[in-house]
Amino acid sequence: MAALDWLIILGYLGVVFGLAGWVFLRRKNTPDDYFLADRNLGWFIVGASIFASNIGSEHLVGLAGSGATDGVAMAHYELHAWCLLILAWVFVPFFIRSRVYTMPEFLEKRFSPGSRWVLTVISLVSYVLTKIAVGIFAGGIVFAALLPDLQIEIAGTVWNSFWIGSVTVIILTGIYTVAGGMGAVAYTEALQTVILVVGSGLLTIFGLRELGGWDGFRAALDPDMFNLWKPLIPAGVEGTWAPVMEEGRQAWYFNQNYPWLSMLFCAPIIGLWYWCTDQYIVQRALGARNETQARRGSIFAGILKLLPVFIFIIPGMIALALAQTGDFSALNTMVDAEGNVIRETSQAAYPLLVTSILPVGVRGLVVAGLLAALMSSLAGVFNASSTLFTMDLYQKFRPKASQQRLVWVGRMATAVMVLIGLSWIPVIQGSRGLYEYLQGVQSYLAPPIFTVFFLGVFWKRLNAKGALSALIVGFVLGAFRLGVDTPVTLGLEGFEGGYAEGSLLWVVNNTFFQYYSLFIFLASVATMVGVSYATSEPSYERISGLTFATVTDEHRAESRASWSRRDVLGSIAVLVMILMAYLYFRG
């Protein structure tokens, strides 16, 4: 990092804090303003903010690392841009019409207060274990790659660059998030989107140039690295349900390198939960000034969502190709003497590529993009977490709390969850890979939430008891899998070799996470439908406008007036680009 690089980074931070300060000075200090930016966001800010919140630390670090280890396998998740079209055309009318602050609040309107509280707890647990902890961890990885020799001794304890980076990112992000609320988050994320896309695009271009262009890039790697559709059964395995060895541990007969079956049926469940029902994402649409802006912003985010395949996964694959040439000392740590990828060090593929191939000045811009991603993802989850805790839990117990008190509580809730997230980092360090860890935890917690939202909107007969039962059953099954996996991941005493082969816990621990997620989904659906039909019908008058079957003619007319032909054309363009990507990366 040269002086010019540091000047560019400082300039970026100055603009971010200047923009956040402008929002802070204009604040109204009300819940509407702090949590939803006074419901006055335009489509560009909505779309850019959704994209920046999603494309955070787990992508620059985890997704690039996945590209280096597994090729384009994880591109399935990025090609879920079509899920944003479901948000735009299916859910936005319901969410905007209901005037809710949070997704649990919508569930209360559709089902019951119990559903709201359970979803709030599940969401907060999910944020701490995934978004907050992952964001902190990724910040440490970036700083460790950029400043490997940095150390500070405090009270006899030596802090290395990993922990210095983690804490620094938290402090910088926390300052403007806590002070400015949703307005500061949304406007700074719009700025960060531009820096992120430009910086990562430049990294891809410089990387391809080192390899002699796209043809040279494809020739440098195994063709299977460019195949989205992995086989159901790994090559060379015979028999039925015979366990095989994968990297020294027992694994089920099914291919665990993201086979087509799990990607086709499980991955969309996670995608639809995340893009259509997760507070972290949907809060930006809730902050739109009307249905038109919310829908258009969601479509715009769908277009932007197609970029990560080329600006995150491809750079990770480029880093591996360059590492195997042996010409770049920093990148050489990604492979062993035979040129085989090392999963642990490959998690830093993106920052290692930055330090290896970019010229002075450009390097500073790309590092600013790295910081933009780290800060935007953390800022989004800080704001979403404080909104959930304050509006769905605290306000229920303190209904007479002043507006200023609600804002203060939201700020304090953020600080507590950050501390819990810090304590969970050792579990992430012991996982197979950052992005795989993230997808695994989400796969265990998301299915029951997806179930109650989608079936709740499309099936009016399902009632509050069915929804609550599905949430509880699904959460228990997911928490059980986490409880089984965690001791093995940490390598705790007595769990170094896993569980006794053939035991129930061994089966659970070794079942591919996507198949277990599909099991949770089916159990949640069966529970919701079974309990609902075993109990009384809901009051259709009370849920008017909250399901397709109870939408009034007036609601339909309002929604139809909110979109035009260009919204339809934009949606078609997203679908066409997704299809082209699937056809190209078909192996």
The ranges assigned to domains in the chain are 3-432+552-584
Token reading at 172: 């910088």
Q: What is the pLDDT of residue 232?
A: 66
Distances (CA, A) of 79 to 302, 548, 578: 9, 27, 6
* Closest-CA residue to 278 (of 524, 445, 43, 465): 445
Please, what is the angle between helix 161-210 and helix 3-25, to 10°?
110
Superfamily classification of domain 3-432+552-584: Sodium/glucose cotransporter (1.20.1730.10)
The pLDDT of 114-131, averaged and rounded, is 81
Least confident range from 39-53, 162-176, 289-303, 352-366: namely: 162-176
- 185-213 pLDDT tens trace: 677 777 777 887 888 888 899 999 999 89
The CA dihedral of 361, 367, 372, 373, to the nearest 10 degrees, is 140
* Tokens 């841009």 belong to residue: 81
Distance CA(169)–CA(37), nearest Å, equals 23
Number of Cβ within 10 Å of residue 184's Cβ equals 27
DSSP 89: I
Is residue 362 within 8 A of residue 356, CB to CB? The reply is no
* Tokens 């996945």 belong to residue: 66
Q: What is the pLDDT of residue 272?
A: 92
Q: Which amino acid is at 270?
A: I
Distance CA(410)–CA(544), nearest Å, equals 31
Q: What is the pLDDT of residue 251?
A: 45
Residue 277 contacts by C-beta under 8 Å, 6 or more apart in sequence?
Answer: 91, 103, 449, 450, 453
Higher pLDDT, 377 or 516: 516
Q: What is the pLDDT of residue 256?
A: 52
- 34-56 pLDDT tens trace: 555 567 788 988 888 888 777 76
Residue 482 has pLDDT above 70, yes or no: yes
- 72-112 pLDDT tens trace: 877 887 888 999 999 999 999 998 888 888 888 899 999 99
Percent of the chain scoring above 70 in pLDDT:
82
- 293-311 pLDDT tens trace: 999 999 999 999 988 888 8
Distance CA(490)–CA(479), nearest Å, equals 16
Higher pLDDT, 153 or 183: 153
Largest CA distance in the chain: 70
Distance CA(57)–CA(64), nearest Å, equals 10
* Closest-CA residue to 226 (of 321, 145, 325, 153): 321
Give the H or E element holding residue 246.
strand 244-246
Q: What is the pLDDT of residue 575?
A: 95
* Tokens 């709201």 belong to residue: 116
* Tokens 């507590």 belong to residue: 416
Is residue 439 within 8 A of residue 512, CB to CB? The reply is no
Is residue 46 within 8 A of residue 300, CB to CB? The reply is yes
The pLDDT of 500-524, averaged and rounded, is 87
Residue 544's SS3 state is coil
Higher pLDDT, 516 or 249: 516
Q: What is the pLDDT of residue 240?
A: 40
Residue 241 has pLDDT above 60, yes or no: no
* Closest-CA residue to 166 (of 143, 196, 192, 189): 143
Residue 268 has pLDDT above 80, yes or no: yes
Q: How confident is the model at residue 532 (pLDDT cuts 50, 70, 90)?
A: very high
Give the H or E element holding residue 405.
helix 403-423
Q: What is the pLDDT of residue 452?
A: 95
Distance CA(515)–CA(512), nearest Å, equals 6
Residue 112 contacts by C-beta under 8 Å, 6 or more apart in sequence?
Answer: 464, 467, 468
Top mean pLDDT of 197-206, 270-279, 456-465 is at: 456-465
Q: What is the pLDDT of residue 421?
A: 62
Please, what is the angle between helix 161-210 and helix 43-54, to 10°?
110
Higher pLDDT, 433 or 173: 173
Is residue 267 within 8 A of residue 527, CB to CB? The reply is no
Count of residues for the chain? 587
Residue 80's SS3 state is coil
Q: Which amino acid is at 180?
A: G
Percent of the chain scoring above 90 in pLDDT:
21
The pLDDT of 238-251, averaged and rounded, is 43
Strand partners, 227: 586
Residue 182 has pLDDT above 70, yes or no: no
Strands 151-154 and 157-160: antiparallel
Q: What is the pLDDT of residue 246?
A: 46
- What's the chain's average pLDDT? 80
